[in-house]
Amino acid sequence: MATSAGRPVLPSSPARQTGDGRGRHLRPIDRSVGELLVDLSDGTVELVRKELQLARTEAVESLMSLRRGGVMTGIAAALGLCATGALVTCLILVLSRYVVGGLTWLAALIVAIVFGIVAYICLRRAQSAFAAAKRPPHDAASSLKETVEWLKHPSRSAAI
Relative to beta strand 7-9, strand 2-4 is antiparallel
Which whole-number Å values give the CA distances from 62 to 52, 71, 114, in the listed order? 15, 14, 43
SS3 of the chain: helix, strand, coil, percent, to 5: 75, 5, 20
Decide if 93 contacts 110 (C-beta within 8 A): no
Please say whether the beta carbons of 61 and 53 come within 8 A: no
Q: What angle do CA 25, 29, 34 make, to 5 degrees?
A: 65
- Could you tell me the pLDDT band of residue 26, with boundaries at 50, 70 and 90? low
Contact 96, 104 (CB under 8 A): yes
Query: Residue 16 pLDDT > 70, yes or no?
Result: no
Gap between the Cα atoms of 104 and 62, Å rounded = 50
User: pTM score > 0.85 for this model?
Assistant: no
The radius of gyration of the chain's CA atoms, rounded to the nearest angstrom, is 38
Residue 1 has pLDDT above 80, yes or no: no
The percentage of residues in the chain with a pLDDT greater than 90, rounded to a whole number, is: 39
